Amino acid sequence: MSGTWGSKIKLSIFGESHGAGIGIVIDGIKPGFKIDKDYIMYQMKRRAPGDGKFSTTRKENDEFEIMSGIFNGRTTGTPICAVIRNENTKSKDYEKTKNLMRPGHADYTGYIKYEGFNDYRGGGHFSGRLTAPIVFVGALCRKILYDKNIVIGSHIKSIKDVNDRSFDISDDSLNVKKVEGLSKQEFPVLDSSVREKMQNTILNAKKDGDSVGGIVEAAVVNLPAGIGDPFFDSIESKLSHILFSIPAVKGVEFGAGFDITRMLGSEANDEYYMTKDKSVSTYTNNNGGILGGISNGMPLIFKVAIKPTPSIAKVQRTVDIDKKENESIEIKGRHDPCIVVRALPVIESAAAIAIMDLL
């Protein structure tokens, strides 16, 4: 299997949800970058389980231990290795149903691919738990980008059929301070009037033993023009590759995305103008700050579709892979009724890593 990603910056993740721990090795970070452990821990806690009524009750502190690549608070230029111990596992929850292929999970595909030798506890290596190391690297990259005045932020665009408004260059939603401030909100939205309705949608699904999904919209502000390459190393290609590596991601759109197909060319094209400081800008941003796979200096905007959490309390139809019989399953354990809120820092981290690789 492949647990690696990247060209200039290379990542390799390891571990399983209920194993001793999870971790990551990062190669390609230049020497001399100052490491802000408090900032990394802040981003890790945004993703960590066990906080709030919208999350699983599995409590993991996600304390990280840096094994190599950092000395006296700065990167050495050698591979950085970080480990996060698993502290709160209830593996027995999975023993009774180990032969029942959970709908929506990778149990069946993993069983076939790895001939039944895969670790099924909590999803094993397929688990969203493996996104914690991605946030570790993302936080490191975000701080480096922030020092270059490149800021990344995201908001909950939708939960099920409840929608927030979108980022728009014609208003102040893409103001650097506002984009940066989104990560300080527990439930970030642009229009505060939809927050409670979104939250109630999650809680109602939880009450019914079900789950919901949603869309995250992210922005990268102050990305210079000229970053990226056409075709295989385009910004879209690089970002999509790592974004689709996040469990539960089922779609990625840039700019207006699929909605651009409903426009005329005269509407879809982002017309140029010269600003007062003689820099080139556009009146609209339907292409999401990317043309020909290369940044044009406008905010990089993309949306990510997150499916409903597959672990639900309702009785579902499945098969017993050992007995080769039809069965039913009622999933026990601790699960998120919606993973969109915890996905925000993961998506932002993936974007930071991809941008670092492109830079």
CB contact at 8 A, 220 and 243: no
**Cα distance between residue 17 and residue 29, in whole Å:** 27
C-alpha 352 chain-centroid distance: 11
143: annotated binding-site residue?
A: no
309: annotated binding-site residue?
A: yes
281: annotated binding-site residue?
A: no
Please name which of 348, 178, 157, 180 lies closest in space to residue 259, comparing C-alpha atoms. 157
Please name which of 267, 265, 303 lies closest in space to residue 284, comparing C-alpha atoms. 267
**Phi and psi at residue 283, in whole multiples of 5°?**
-75, -35
For residue 333, count CB atoms less than 10 angstroms from its CB and return exposed for 0-12, middle for 13-18, buried for 19 or more: middle
Question: Helices 37-47 & 131-146, crossing angle to 10 degrees?
Answer: 140
**Cα distance between residue 320 and residue 327, in whole Å:** 6
Q: The tokens of 113 are what?
A: 């691919």
- Per the listing, tokens 């914690």 go with 132
308: annotated binding-site residue?
A: yes
74: annotated binding-site residue?
A: no
Q: Is 135 helix (H, G, I), strand (E, B) or coil?
A: helix
311: annotated binding-site residue?
A: yes
127: annotated binding-site residue?
A: yes
Q: What distances in angstroms separate CA 336 from CA 162, 165, 355, one per listed residue?
A: 18, 25, 29
53: annotated binding-site residue?
A: yes
**Cα distance between residue 131 and residue 263, in whole Å:** 36
Can you say which residues are annotated as belonging to the binding site for FMN? 125-127, 292, 307-311, 334
Can you say which residues are annotated as belonging to the binding site? 47, 53, 125-127, 292, 307-311, 334
Can you say which residues are annotated as belonging to the binding site for NADP(+)? 47, 53
